[in-house]
Amino acid sequence: MNREMKRMQRRGGTVEDDGPAAFVPPVTEPRPRPVGPELSVPGRIVEFGREVRSELRQVAWPTRQEVANSAMVVIIVLVLLGAFIFLLNYAFTHAILKLLTA
């Protein structure tokens, strides 16, 4: 835990100044749903679109370089695993054929 978090907890009263944390269970009450006119189906679809757009703005999107690096790692691992499985298959096939023909 860094200093900033400790300061925030001291201000909030969840940590005592001399050290250990004083557990204060959070008081959470269910928030009442806003009372208003019931939305129609097209209105709910539009509201859903707005909420999706709002959530997508909060996503930490990777940069182009990060995506390229990750894709390259995935491709290399796939090629290596494919070659490894091919070699195992080849070795076991020849070993079994040798056992059966002997």
pLDDT tens digits, residue range 33-68?
A: 666 678 788 888 999 999 999 999 999 999 999 999
Provide the mean pLDDT of the chain: 84
Q: What is the pLDDT of residue 38?
A: 80
9 is written with which tokens? 């907890």
pLDDT at position 4, please? 77
Distance CA 47, CA 54 (A): 11
Residue 14: per-residue pLDDT: 62
**DSSP result, 5-41:** HHHHHHHHTSB-TTSSBPP------PPPPPP-PPPPH
- In this predicted model, which residue has the larger pLDDT, 92 or 43? 92
Alpha helices in the chain (DSSP H): 3-12, 41-57, 64-101
Give, as one character, the DSSP assignment of residue 1.
-
Tally Cβ neighbours within 10 Å of residue 15.
20
Say what the pTM is.
0.48
Give me 64's structure tokens: 């182009």
Helix (H, G, I), strand (E, B) or coil at 94: helix
Q: Is the pLDDT of residue 1 over 70?
A: no
